[in-house]
Homo-oligomer: A and B are copies of this chain.
Amino acid sequence: MTQVADSKHERIARRQVDKFDARRTELAVATLHTLAELGYARTSLREIAQNSEFSHGVLHYYFADKRDLVTEAVRQYEAVCVTRYDDVVARATTAEQLRDEFVAMFFDTLAQDAPLHRLWYDLRNQSLFDETFRADVLEIDGRREDMVWRVVSRYAELSGGTLSVSPAVVYVTLDGIFHRALLHHLGGQADTVASLRHELPGVIALLAA
């Protein structure tokens, strides 16, 4: 009977853990939007709570502190942002198609998800000062690198080219272009963004010559 009771307790406990985690995730997602809007330093827990359907007390119930909450939010970002181009890679049959679809999506998400992207850069930057997020940031950065590498190496494959630089360099180059385009996009300088868009195919070709 004890055994039965125990397993019942276990089931309940497990279910509660699930519920707990589900709620954490829910709160983290809600957090992500406010965070993206205001940036890490300017976002208060009250603000987050007000933009959600929860009280700010509940944030402290589910998260140890602000860092814990933001860390969880970053992980939610990760889920979305490290596989973005995988479909493009999967369905591409020619190098040109891959390149063009990649470029299109690249600048599409730039405009669509600008706030979310700047949050990513914000948090990656925090990790220069604060170890808290560093491990998560490095992991996500690695996955983004992998994602980009999948695109460019597939491009090389399709185009018969060879990659002369490391995944790291490929990543920082494309990410650098993205970052700069974002900066000018937010600054309202559409022409600079357009120049970068125009130049991107050539850069890809250069990397995988």
A128 near B138: Cβ-Cβ < 8 Å: no
Taking chain A's interface residues, is the majority helix, strand, or loop, or is none over half, making it mixed? helix
A183 near B124: Cβ-Cβ < 8 Å: yes
The size class of the interface chain A forms with chain B is 35 or more
Interface centre among A130, A173, A192, by most chain B C-beta atoms within 10 angstroms, is: A173
Q: Is A154 an interface residue (CB 8 A)?
A: no
Please give the distance in Å from A34's CB to the nearest CB on chain B. Answer: 12
With a cutoff of 8 Å between Cβ atoms, the chain B residues found around residue A128 in the complex are: 39, 118, 121-122, 182-183, 186
With a cutoff of 8 Å between Cβ atoms, the chain B residues found around residue A38 in the complex are: 129
A202 near B129: Cβ-Cβ < 8 Å: no
Q: Is A143 an interface residue (CB 8 A)?
A: no
Q: Is A199 an interface residue (CB 8 A)?
A: yes
Q: How many copies does the complex hold?
A: 4
Please give the distance in Å from A140's CB to the nearest CB on chain B. Answer: 12
Q: How far is the CA of A130 from the CA of B180 in the complex (A)?
A: 16
A125 near B121: Cβ-Cβ < 8 Å: yes
Q: Is A195 an interface residue (CB 8 A)?
A: yes
Q: How far is the CA of A186 from the CA of B165 in the complex (A)?
A: 24
Q: Is A169 an interface residue (CB 8 A)?
A: yes
With a cutoff of 8 Å between Cβ atoms, the chain B residues found around residue A103 in the complex are: none
* Contact pick for A169, options B39, B122, B175, B177, CB 8 Å: B177
Which residues A117-148 have CB closer than 8 A to chain B?
118, 121-122, 124-130, 134, 137-138, 141
A199 near B168: Cβ-Cβ < 8 Å: yes
With a cutoff of 8 Å between Cβ atoms, the chain B residues found around residue A184 in the complex are: 138
Q: How far is the CA of A179 from the CA of B128 in the complex (A)?
A: 10
Q: Is A164 an interface residue (CB 8 A)?
A: yes
List 22 contacting pairs A-B, 8 Å CB cutoff, sorted by A. A39-B129, A40-B41, A42-B129, A121-B125, A122-B125, A125-B125, A127-B183, A127-B187, A134-B187, A141-B180, A164-B206, A165-B203, A165-B206, A166-B195, A168-B195, A169-B203, A171-B176, A172-B173, A172-B176, A172-B177, A176-B176, A176-B179
